[in-house]
Every structure is written in structure tokens, then in C-alpha cells.
């Protein structure tokens, strides 16, 4: 697998984002105009880095790294429907750690997902992210519903040492 910085492939981006349903994202059905406008206004590359996830010369999805200039970036992975559940999420999370900790010198990566997104939660765990928080009524959906969210984190120290440090969620009873 390889990761290639998004260039001027706006047509491929439009196809990926509009031809797949994103049931665990705020906007489940992305509109073409929204993608084109976002691209024109720098959404995918201004204070962000967007990479194609490529396997055997085929674009299987993208990863958008938000707040790339911050010490603790966030990210969004979007895989084409036909590639979900095949290990691309875990491989991308492992690459993300190598890239952000190894090349960019970041100290921490955070990822949020809806509580019902079991596939992404499994990816986080397999890629050595630690479940650090459960946020009640924290994910607003475009249809007006609200869902609980889960926070996962990875830290550079664990990446360097090849381990996961348990959190101290209950060290004090309040």
C-alpha cells in the first residue's frame, strides 16, 4: 500500500465521496457541489493534508489529517464501500502513526468515532490506539439525531516503545 498526497484529482475525489454512503459520518450522502466547493476553497489542503490510500494502483480511499500544524492532529478516514472490512483501516492507522510520529514529530493523535461504528473501533484497537473516553450525546448527525461518541488516542512514547500504556480513568472516584 502507498499513500499519495492529493493533487488536482478533483474528479476522483468527487467520485469517491459522492458514490459511497458514509453512514457513520455527519453527512451520509455527500453532494458533488460540496466536494467541489471544499476543494476550491482549500478544505482538503489548507491546514490539512489529504492522502489517497492506494493499493495495487487503485485508489481505495482517503485520509484527511486535520490541524496538521498543531501538536495533536485529528483525522478522517474514508474508504470506498467495497474496501471496508479488509484491513485498510488498520494499515492506514499504522501508517498515520509512522508518518505523524516519525516524520512530523507529533506527540499524540486523537480519533473520534460514533459508538455504533464497531468496524472503526476494531481498527483503532488493532492499531494500538487506546480507548480514552466515552462522550455522551457528542456526535451531531445531519438528520438532527445525536449519538454517543468514543475517543481513541495514540501517543508517541507508546509508538517508540511498541506498547500501549493503560489509562488511569478510575484512579480517583470522581
Name the helix (H) or strand (E) containing 16: helix 10-18
Average pLDDT of the segment spanning 5-30: 95
| Beta sheet of 130-140, edge-to-edge order | 108-114, 146-155, 130-140
pLDDT tens column, 82-106:
999 999 999 999 999 999 999 999 9
Name the CATH code of domain 2-161 (choices 3.30.420.140, 3.30.1490.270, 3.40.630.30, 3.90.1150.10). Answer: 3.40.630.30
pLDDT, position 130 = 97
pLDDT of amino acid 160? 97
Model confidence at 27, pLDDT cuts 50, 70, 90, reads confident
Confidence of residue 170 (pLDDT cuts 50, 70, 90): confident
For the chain, the average pLDDT equals 95
The β-bridge partners of 58 are 55
Cell of 164: 500501549
Q: Are 107 and 160 in contact (CB under 8 A)?
A: no
Give 114-157 pLDDT, tens digit per residue: 999 999 999 999 999 999 999 999 999 888 999 999 999 999 99
pLDDT-based confidence at 80, cuts 50/70/90? Answer: very high
pLDDT tier at 26, thresholds 50, 70, 90: confident
Residue 174 above 90 pLDDT? no
pTM of this structure: 0.94
What are the cell numbers at 100?
A: 505523524
Amino acid at each position: 500500500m502507498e499513500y499519495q498526497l492529493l493533487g488536482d484529482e478533483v474528479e476522483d475525489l468527487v467520485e469517491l465521496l459522492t458514490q459511497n454512503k458514509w453512514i457513520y459520518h455527519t453527512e451520509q450522502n455527500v453532494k458533488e457541489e460540496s466536494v467541489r466547493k471544499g476543494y476550491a476553497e482549500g478544505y482538503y489542503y489548507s491546514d490539512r493534508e489529504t492522502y489517497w490510500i492506494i493499493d495495487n494502483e487503485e485508489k481505495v480511499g482517503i485520509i484527511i489529517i486535520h490541524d496538521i500544524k498543531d501538536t495533536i492532529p485529528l483525522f478522517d478516514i474514508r474508504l470506498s464501500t467495497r474496501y471496508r472490512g479488509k484491513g485498510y483501516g488498520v494499515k492506514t492507522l499504522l501508517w498515520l502513526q509512522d508518518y505523524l510520529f516519525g516524520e512530523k514529530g507529533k506527540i499524540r493523535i486523537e480519533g473520534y468515532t460514533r459508538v455504533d461504528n464497531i468496524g472503526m473501533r476494531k481498527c483503532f484497537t488493532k492499531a494500538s490506539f487506546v480507548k480514552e473516553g466515552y462522550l455522551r450525546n457528542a456526535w451531531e448527525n445531519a438528520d438532527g439525531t445525536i449519538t454517543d461518541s468514543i475517543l481513541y488516542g495514540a501517543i508517541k512514547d507508546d509508538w517508540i516503545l511498541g506498547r500501549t500504556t493503560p489509562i488511569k480513568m478510575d484512579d480517583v472516584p470522581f
